[in-house]
Amino acid sequence: QSALTQPASVSGSPGQSITISCTGTTSDVGGYKYVSWYQQQPGKAPKLMIYDVSNRPPGVSNRFSASKSVNTASLTISGLQAEDEADYYCSSYTSSSTPWVFGGGTKLTVL
C-alpha cells in the first residue's frame, strides 16, 4: 500500500479539465513544500511535471497546474489532449525513515 493515496483512474474528453488528488498526512504532503507530480506515458520513463507543489519545470505546458490544501495535493490538467493520456504519480518528502514516497498512480484516459 502506497504512502500517498491517489484515485486509480480518471477520465475526460478532449478540451475538458480534470483533477487528480493525492492525499497524505501531516508527515508528508501536509508538512512540507516538497510535493511533485510525474507523468508516465505508456512504455516511457516518468517525466517531472510539477515541483514545489505548484511550479512547472521549463518546457512543461501551462495546461498543467497544481496546488495543495492541508494534506491533499491536486494536479489539474486543462484543455485535455490525447497526448495527456498517461499514468500520473504524486510524490512527497516525508519525515519517515524512507524520505521520499510516491502515490499509487492514477491512469488518465482521454475519451
Partner 1 sequence: EMQVLESGGGLVQPGGSLRLSCAASGFSFSSYVMSWVRQAPGKGLEWVSSLSGSGAITHYADSVMSRFTISRDNSKNTLYLQMNSLRAEDTAVYYCAKALGSDWSYFGYWGQGTLVTVSS
Q: Round to whole Å and give the CA distance between 21 and 67.
A: 10
- Answer for which of 14, 15, 79, 99 binds partner 1 (CB under 8 A) is 99
Asked if 101 interacts with partner 1 (CB under 8 A), we say yes
Q: How many CB atoms lie within 10 A of CB 38?
A: 21
5 to 44: interface string for partner 1, x by CB under 8 A: -----------------------------x-x-x-x---x
Nearer to partner 1, 79 or 100 (CB): 100
* # chain residues binding partner 1, by CB under 8 A: 24
Cell 507543489 -> residue = 53
Q: With beta carbons less than 8 A apart as the criterion, state whether 10 and 18 touch.
A: yes
